[in-house]
Amino acid sequence: MPPVIRVLIADDHPVVRRGLGALLSTVDGFEVVGEATDGAEAVREAQLLRPDVVLMDVRMPDLDGVEATRRIRKAVPDTHVLMLTMYDDDATVFTAMQAGARGYLLKGAEQDDITDAIRAVVRGQAIFGPGIASRVLGYFSTPPAPAPASDPFPELTSRERDILELLAAGKRTSAIASALFLSPKTVSNNLTSIFAKLEVADRAEAIIRAREQGLGT
């Protein structure tokens, strides 16, 4: 008999946590060992319980699922993270994968899809929901366009470069959104992508990197 897969569920909605727990309790070979209501609690519980898999939401209070994933993978490398969320924009998907998530499913996935994905990440495979897999493959199979030699951050899109320029100038999210005629949520999503691409942990490090290259002056 294969070993039981121990699962930690991290989601700020109690209905979702209860639903996932009930779902997994009906399937042989799974044990829900704990729950977390935000990213910080997910990190603590992962270190304490050392589950095989964390089912992780993206948007949670205090500490989001992407940063929680990054911390869990660093602190508990044997624990795998499977994102289960309703957000499927490219910036969130790729940032989550760069943070160390082994899979990405959308809420509403069928029970068999969820349990198969959990088993897959335990085996060390990467797993994506329908529609996401094709975008990931396209992202990695399309070579990036060459950037001008004078561009210090060629990995950034033009929008991300504009946002980083304003961030380096000391602008807050709301001011950046107003200046670029964007919503604050769009700016926040782009900032998450910028931090991942520049391999920085937060706004302060991003500002330092940008100012070293002459942005924001």
Which CATH number do you get for residue 169? 1.10.10.10
In a domain, 64, yes or no: yes
Q: What are phi and psi of 32, to 5 degrees?
A: -80, 110
DSSP state of 124: T
Same domain, 175 and 105: no
The CATH number given to whatever domain includes residue 38 is 3.40.50.2300
Q: Which residues of the chain have pLDDT under 70?
A: 1, 130-131, 133-150, 217
Same domain, 184 and 132: no
Q: Which residue has the tokens 């964390």?
A: 54
| Model pLDDT, residue 154 | 87
Asked if residue 64 lies in contact with residue 41, where contact means CB atoms within 8 angstroms, the answer is no
* Domain hosting residue 32, numbered range: 5-138
Are 68 and 39 spatial neighbours (Cβ–Cβ below 8 Å)? yes
Mark whether 17 and 68 lie in a shared domain: yes
* Residue 134 covered by a domain: yes
Q: What pLDDT is stored for residue 147 in this prediction?
A: 46
Domain match, 127 and 188 both: no
Structure confidence at residue 148 (pLDDT): 46
Three-state SS annotation for 25-73: HCCCCEEEEEEECCHHHHHHHHHHHCCCEEEECCCCCCCCHHHHHHHHH
The whole-number pLDDT of residue 141 equals: 60
- What was the pLDDT predicted at 43? 96
Whether 30 is in a domain gets the answer yes
| Domain-ending residue, one of 103, 138, 173 | 138
Are 94 and 15 contained in the same domain? Answer: yes
- Kindly list the distances between the CA atom of residue 73 and the CA atoms of 101, 103, 128, in Å, as whole numbers in the listed order: 8, 13, 19
**Whether residues 66 and 164 fall in one domain:** no
Q: Are residues 65 and 12 in the same domain?
A: yes
> Do 72 and 102 belong to one domain?
yes
Query: 35 and 10 in contact (C-beta within 8 Å)?
Result: yes
| 85/162 same-domain check | no
Q: Could you give the number of structural domains in the chain?
A: 2
Verify that 162 and 64 share a domain, yes or no: no
**Domain identity same for 37 and 103:** yes
For position 76, what pLDDT does the model report? 96
